[in-house]
A and B are shown apart, each in its own frame.
Chain A
Amino acid sequence: MSASSLFLCLVGLGLFSFFFGRRRIHKLASGAHGVSQKQHSRDVYHASFLVICATFIPIVLLVVWTGVSPLVIDALLESFLKARANTASLGELNVMIAKTKAYYAGSISAAFIDDTIAEATTYYADLVARSLQARSLAVLLLAIAGAGLGVRKIALRFTARHSVERVAQWIMLVASAIAVLTTVGIVLSLIFETIRFFATVSVSEFLFGLHWSPQIAIREDQAGGSGSFGAIPLFAGTLMITLIAMVVAVPIGLMSAVYLSEYASPRLRGVAKPGIEMLAGIPTVVYGFFAALVVAPFLRDGGADIGLTLSSESALAAGLVMGIMIIPFISSLSDDVINAVPQTLRDGAAALGATHSETIKQVVLPAALPGIVSAILLAISRAIGETMIVVMAAGVAANLTANPFESVTTVTVQIVMLLVGDQEFDSAKTLAAFALGLVLFFITLALNILALYVVNKYREQYD
């Protein structure tokens, strides 16, 4: 049976258990008339208890089996082919495995396969069929057994509510653990591939090398790609674009937050705040389009008019537009911290005869400073991790330059370039993307933690 029909079976069984359980406890209760015993849990809990007994473990089994069995079958197929083909080459073996699966799926015709593959396909088909059979059998048996056991437990004094609530709490705990699992998954998958990458390229070369050209490394005779995976130009390019973005975003974002929270009339605030937040809701691909097809040509032509040579993929265009994207981020976070500064401080300064701007500059902003610094750190983290704007508007070639009019590339651009399109998963080129991803992950993580630390360490307690 396929996974979905098996699942439907379980749903059906669950529904049946619900009504059966309700009938059962109802009968027990009406049979016990006159007896002093009182029913512990309401009917619905007994019914739910039965549903859980009948379906919970089978569903978990179904999911686990469906996820794990392909891995087991693949491993079996690999050892089968290894024994048959007497080949030690991993590449050849992988091709054979792929062929077997393709033939099994019917996507290549018999003309392309040899006897070994045909045998392997029979073996593979047998494995798959047996796995499916065993899965159906195990799931259904467990479901029926669970239901049977559950029915026997239903009784007037049975504490069904406690059992149901305990299970519900566990499910909720698992749900909140998914977030942790995601982080673990990110770290593990990135580290795993990065270690494989560092088997061919040394760590110091990657972190301190000045030359980046991964395309050369895919040639057969250059398996290590020595000298081509120095990521410094990428880091420098990322840094420059981030810097330009901050130069745009911090003054505009901060000043508009100050003006909106300190000076603006409620009406202006009612218009301007949603307007700035609209900038935040615009998908990054739109900013990318704006940077590549509106701002970059505009800057290039404008630069040409005053005698400047701008690349059409200049760091300036990408940085400017990224700055625009970051404005609402800085302004709304700063707005929050400025509003969190207690009014009594403003009153205190005003009562001493400070003008409004003196109050803001000398009392409100210093009091809000930890929050503002943390907002800027988060914004930097955001700019470093931003992908679409730079993919569309920044360059691909890794230039090490300090000139914002030239084209530079960034970490995220290279990740996309290395992974988009068809690729084998084992080349140094694809693995490099994961190493870059790991660097990106840790830098942004460090910035986020630093931001949290700044807020907690330097925040004044106002109550």
Chain B
Amino acid sequence: MNDTTDPKIKIEARGVDVFYGEAQALHGIDLDVNANQVTALIGPSGCGKSTFLRCINRMNDVIDGCRVNGNIAIDGQDIYSSDIDVVELRARVGMVFQKPNPFPKSIYDNVAYGPRIHGLSQSREQLDHIVESSLKRAGLWAEVSDRLSASGTSLSGGQQQRLCIARAIAVSPDVVLMDEPCSALDPIATAVIEELMEELRKDYTIVIVTHSMQQAARISQRTAYFHLGNVVEHGATQQIFTNPKNQQTEAYISGKIG
């Protein structure tokens, strides 16, 4: 692996329980996420991996009847404590969704939206610069530089997803959460996004939920295997895929359960 030794811990989850109404979706999750690495969350459908991801930027707050117990700390600070502002938190923890969801606005406005609401730019030039650099980092600039005023929804699915990535990194977050970002894309678009993630992890901490084990193996440094709302196993990706310690993990990896 190309990890530096003793990586810094960015996100620290301890004993996280999540309830939807009466139903418990997560049972006491303990998980560390290293900075500047890609951490993949894998597991069968309904195992709670997306739910956990949405805890990290408190997107679960939006859902009626959802309750979160336990601690999640980013850089040592509990994000569920009362002095944390959820709006500020989400500016630091960006998210890319399963289905590309560009706003029905121009490409430029899509990327500029975050910087605008957070007041990150003082001038038009600065905003232009943020938009350009974000699109460049998302690898989309070459394709759209001549039509920034076209609607974001006019792009192809893969381009839309990269636009959403550009939109997320335009507010310069520390962490980018990705919820199965390639599940709605074709293989070529998927390959482009996977390359992009390798590039992005230099600046950001990335947590990705994926149902594709190959993808997890290709892109991530660490992997956590979720099953029925528990983290069954969690460690370096290579170890998980070649030498899983837990029988359930092995069964899943080898395709016996799915």
- Which positions in A face B, CB cutoff 8 Å? 266, 342, 344-355, 358, 362-363, 366-367, 460-461
Contacts and interface: CB of A to CB of B under 8 A. Distances in A.
Contacts of B97: 344, 347-348, 351
B221 to A, nearest CB: 24
B139 interface: no
Contacts of B90: 350-353
B153 interface: yes
Contacts of B118: 353
Interface size on B, as a range, is: 20 to 34
A72 B62 CA distance: 73
A352 to B, nearest CB: 4
B48 interface: no
A346 B88 CA distance: 17
B15 interface: no
A81 to B, nearest CB: 71
B117 A348 contact: no
Contact of A349 (B57, B103, B177): B103
B167 interface: yes
Given A347-B97, A348-B97, A354 B117 contact: yes
Contact of A352 (B102, B105, B117, B177): B117
Interface of B: 57, 59, 62, 64, 87-91, 94-95, 97, 99, 101-105, 113-114, 117-118, 153, 164, 167-168, 171, 177
A266 B63 CA distance: 13
A368 to B, nearest CB: 10
A434 B90 CA distance: 62
Contact of B62 (A345, A347, A353, A461): A347
B171 A352 contact: yes
Nearest to A461: B153
A160 B97 CA distance: 59
A342 B101 contact: yes
A102 B171 CA distance: 87
Contacts of B57: 351
A349 B109 CA distance: 12
A352 B104 CA distance: 16
A461 B105 CA distance: 13
Nearest to B100: A344
B101 A366 contact: no
18 contacts: A266-B64, A347-B59, A348-B103, A348-B164, A349-B113, A350-B90, A351-B59, A352-B167, A352-B168, A352-B171, A353-B90, A353-B91, A354-B113, A354-B117, A362-B117, A363-B103, A367-B103, A460-B153
Contacts of A352: 90-91, 94, 113-114, 117, 167-168, 171
B46 to A, nearest CB: 19
Nearest to A370: B104
A318 B108 CA distance: 46
Interface core residue of B57, B104, B153 (most chain A CB under 10 Å): B104
A462 to B, nearest CB: 9
Given A344-B99, A345-B103, A460-B153, A350 B62 contact: yes
B87 A353 contact: yes
Contact of A351 (B102, B104, B168): B168
A460 B105 CA distance: 10
Nearest to A356: B62
A349 B99 CA distance: 14
Nearest to B64: A266
A353 B117 CA distance: 8
B51 to A, nearest CB: 14
Contact of A346 (B62, B102, B117, B168): B62
B113 A351 contact: no
A367 B110 CA distance: 13
Contacts of B62: 346-347, 350
B95 A354 contact: no
B114 A353 contact: yes
Q: Which 4 A-B pairs have the closest CB atoms?
A: A353-B91, A351-B95, A344-B101, A353-B90
Contacts of B64: 266
Most A Cβ at <10 Å: residue of B99, B117, B177? B117
A277 B59 CA distance: 33
A342 B64 CA distance: 17
A342 B164 CA distance: 16
A342 to B, nearest CB: 7
A339 to B, nearest CB: 15
A218 B167 CA distance: 71
Contacts of B104: 345, 366-367, 460
A342 B101 CA distance: 9
Contacts of B103: 345, 348-349, 363, 366-367
A353 B88 contact: yes
A348 B89 CA distance: 14
Contacts of B88: 353
A366 B103 CA distance: 9
B14 to A, nearest CB: 24
B101 A350 contact: no
B105 A366 contact: yes
Contacts of A350: 59, 62, 90
Nearest to B57: A351
B150 to A, nearest CB: 13
Nearest to A355: B87
Contacts of B91: 352-353
A353 B105 CA distance: 18
A439 B164 CA distance: 50
Contacts of B95: 347-348, 351
A18 to B, nearest CB: 58
Nearest to B62: A350
A354 B94 CA distance: 12
Contacts of A358: 117
A358 B91 CA distance: 14
Given A353-B118, A362-B117, A366-B103, 11 more contacts: A344-B99, A345-B103, A348-B101, A351-B90, A353-B88, A353-B114, A353-B117, A355-B117, A367-B103, A460-B104, A460-B153
A352 B62 CA distance: 14
Nearest to B58: A350
B138 to A, nearest CB: 14
Contacts of A354: 87, 113-114, 117
Contacts of B89: 353
Contacts of B114: 352-354
A362 B104 CA distance: 10
Nearest to B177: A351
Contact of B101 (A347, A353, A362, A461): A347
